[in-house]
């Protein structure tokens, strides 16, 4: 859920969140980073709209300083935030680790890290509870599988950053289906992945079959490779002239 210019952003975000709940999603993420007061107002509106049984994450895209991020985290803890994503700039490792010590909200990040060497530093500095490598940027499926295995040894969850084309979505689905998750309870939690719901023809037209969530769930394709084929007619429409 993103910022838009509207008379009441809080109302618009709450209505959008209700739409996702009606579609069967039991987790959703919203943007923060306008300013702390407006962020609090928006988070409160969304949480009140969706109730307490839906996971709600917030993503600042490193909009804040450490002091600001701590203030926002304290203010929204009571709204059951499942993670606070990229609260500060990704190169500020010590700020990430300090923030983790001051809030009960899990801290997520890593979409701007590259290769397992970058993530090793992230884990050694105890920066995140949830690692978010982007498969298309962090080194591909093989490298991100190594990152996932390393995250497991540090007791860090992994939810890949997934953006762009349907190829990226399919790659993330296959990765998530083939990684170990920390913990060993009898009934493991469902795997979680990011699925952008904004208009995106490169996601919805570029590959076949397309991905249509049903009751908030995606079916992993079982065809060879990534399980999708590039729609060359669609590709030609988006080639640079």
Q: Is 161 a known active-site residue?
A: yes
- Can you point out the beta strands (E) in 152-239? 157-158, 207-208, 229-230
| Tokens 């904004």, located at residue | 198
Point out the catalytic residue in the list 62, 121, 161, 214: 161
* d(C-alpha 85, C-alpha 180), whole Å: 22
How many of the other CB atoms lie within 10 Å of CB of 139? 20
* d(C-alpha 193, C-alpha 190), whole Å: 10
Distances (CA, A) of 191 to 72, 97, 182: 28, 25, 12
* d(C-alpha 90, C-alpha 109), whole Å: 8
Taking the CA of residue 97 as centre, how many other CA atoms within 13 Å lie in the half-sphere pointing to its CB?
11
Q: Which residues are catalytic?
A: 161
């Amino acid at each position: 859920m993103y910022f838009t210019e509207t008379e009441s952003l809080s109302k618009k975000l709450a209505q959008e969140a209700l739409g996702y709940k009606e579609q069967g999603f039991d987790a959703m993420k919203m943007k923060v980073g306008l300013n702390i007061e407006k962020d609090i107002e928006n988070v409160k509106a969304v949480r009140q709209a969706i109730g307490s049984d839906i996971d709600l994450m917030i993503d600042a895209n490193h909009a804040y300083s450490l002091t600001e991020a701590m203030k926002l985290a304290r203010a929204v803890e009571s709204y059951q935030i499942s993670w606070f994503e990229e609260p500060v700039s990704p190169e500020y490792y010590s700020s990430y680790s300090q923030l983790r010590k001051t809030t009960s909200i899990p801290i997520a990040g890593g979409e701007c890290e590259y290769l397992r060497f970058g993530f090793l530093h992230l884990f050694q500095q105890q920066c995140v509870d949830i690692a978010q490598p982007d498969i298309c940027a962090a080194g591909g499926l093989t490298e991100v599988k190594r990152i996932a295995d390393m995250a497991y040894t540090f007791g860090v969850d992994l939810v890949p950053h997934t953006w762009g084309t349907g190829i990226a979505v399919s790659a993330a689905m296959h990765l998530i289906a083939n990684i170990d998750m920390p913990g060993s309870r009898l009934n493991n939690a469902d795997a979680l992945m990011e699925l952008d719901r904004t208009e995106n023809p490169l996601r919805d037209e570029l590959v076949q079959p397309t991905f249509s969530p049903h009751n908030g769930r995606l079916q992993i394709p079982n065809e060879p490779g990534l399980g999708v084929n590039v729609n060359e007619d669609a590709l030609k429409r988006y080639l640079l002239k």
